[in-house]
Amino acid sequence: MILEAKSIFKKYKGIHKELTVLDDINFSVNKGEIVSIVGPSGSGKTTVLGLCAGLDTPTSGSISLAGSMISSLTENEKAEVRNRKVGFIFQNFQLLPTLTALENVMIPLELQGRAKGAKEKAEQLLERVGLGGRSHHYPSQLSGGEQQRVSLARAFSNDPEILFADEPTGNLDEETGSIVEGLLFELNKEKQTTLIIVTHDLELANKTDRIIKLKGGKIVSDQRIKATAQI
């Protein structure tokens, strides 16, 4: 098991009363599984993803990620786990605007202290997502689809054990979206990464092994579509 969430609650203090965004979430994900999280906007998908990836701390409950109890680690320890074992793809790309495509892809490797060979690897990955010629361009010089392909390359650059994608195609048109989607699945298959995708897109969800449905901060269904990978 690579990810296990046990009775997760997330509450925000509102101006008048407390807002419960996540209400007793329980699930676990096996290594190599491809899971999609779906649900209406505001149902808590991004929050779940953020908590599982160690970007935030739950109000209560525990999360273990790739062998660490991520919910009880310090910020720096969480950063370490993210850097070594986790990859991210964001709906709004989140490339560093001041760095070139190549440098964006190199960052996770360099953070691991693997400066040697980082450039070659990053170049390969950019080549792989079809942006070999654009490596010295800044994000603002790239289209949305291109930016998302750079962030795909970045997500895979540190050979993560698990990849979190928050609506990776949500900001893209259908055609570009499906190119990014295709690349995501291809790369994932090559690298044998566990993948968790948050999406609106039911078509995309149907291509995954398992769909977790959220509504109002609760899991309303959790169904496997394809044969599960090895435990």
Partner 1 sequence: MNWSLIVKTAIRDSRKDRSKLILFMSSIILGVAALVAINSFNDNLVRDIENQSKSLLGADMTVGGNKPLNEDLVASLDSLSTERTSELELFSMSYLPSKDESQFVRLKGLTGNFPYYGKLITEPLEAANTYKSELAALVDDGMMLQYGLEVGDSIKLGEVMFPITGRLMNAFGSVDAGASFAPSVYIGGQNIEATNLIQPGSLVNYKEYVKVFKDIDLDDWEDVRRKKFRNEAQRITTVEDQRQNLQEAFSNLNNFLNIVALISLLLACIGVASSVLIYVKTKVQSIAILRCLGMKSEEAFMVYFLQIISLGTLSVIFGVALGSIIQVILPLVLKGFLPYEVNMSISPSAMIKGFVMGELITSLFAIGPLLGIRRVTPLRALRISDDTQQRDPLQWLIYGLIFITITGFLYTLTENVLDAITFSAGILFAFLILYGVAKSVTWAVRKFFPSSASFVVRQGLSNLYRPNNQTLTLIVSIGLGTGILTLLFILQGLILNNVEDMGVGNQPNMIVFGIEADQKEEIEDLTKSFEMPIIQHVPVVTMELAAWKGKSKKDWLSDTTRTSSRWAINREARVSYQEEMPVDDVLLEGTYTGVHDGGDSIFISLSERYSNGLDVEVGDELVWNVQGAMITTYVGSIREINFRKMESRFFILFPIGVLEDAPQFLILVTKSPEKQTTADFRNAVVKSMPNASVIDLGSILATLNDIITKVSYVIKFMAGFSILIGLIVLISSLFLSKFQRIRESVLLRTLGAVEKKIYRINAVEYASLGILSALTGISLAVSGSYLLAKFVFELDFNLSWWPIFGIFIFIVALTVIIGLWNSRDVVKRSPLEILRNV
Residue 13 or 17 having the CB closest to partner 1? 13
Q: Is the dihedral of CA 156, 30, 227, 206 positive or negative?
A: negative
Residue type, 76: N
> Strand order in 68-69's β-sheet?
18-29, 3-13, 60-65, 68-69
What would you report as the CA-atom Rg of the chain, rounded to the nearest whole angstrom?
Answer: 17
- Interaction of residue 33 with partner 1, rule CB under 8 A: no
> Which residue minimizes CB distance to ligand ADP?
46
Per CB under 8 A, does 59 bind partner 1?
no
Instruction: Compute the least distance from the CB of residue 21 to ligand ADP, in Å.
Output: 4
Coil, strand or helix at 225: coil
CB of 144 to partner 1, least distance (A): 10
SS3 content of the chain, % helix, strand, coil (to 5): 40, 25, 35
d(CA 182, CA 187): 9
Please say which residue, 3 or 22, places its beta carbon nearer to ligand ADP: 22
Binding site for ligand ADP (CB under 6 A): 12, 19, 21, 39, 41-47
Is residue 156 a contact residue for partner 1 (CB under 8 A)? no
Does position 46 interact with Mg ion (CB under 5 A)? The reply is: yes
Interaction of residue 120 with partner 1, rule CB under 8 A: no
* Span interacting with Mg ion, options 12-20, 44-52, 55-63, 111-119, rule CB under 5 A: 44-52
Nearer to ligand ADP, 90 or 156 (CB): 90
The verdict on 80 binding partner 1 (CB under 8 A) reads yes
Contact yes or no for 183/127 (Cβ under 8 A): no
Where helices occur in the chain by DSSP H, the ranges are: 45-52, 75-85, 101-111, 118-128, 144-157, 174-191, 202-206
Q: Which residues pair with 101 in a beta bridge?
A: none
Q: Which residues bind Mg ion (CB under 5 A)?
A: 46
Sites of contact with partner 1 (CB under 8 A)? 46, 49-50, 53, 55-56, 75-76, 79-84, 86, 88, 90, 94-100, 103, 107-108, 110-113, 115, 138-140, 154, 166
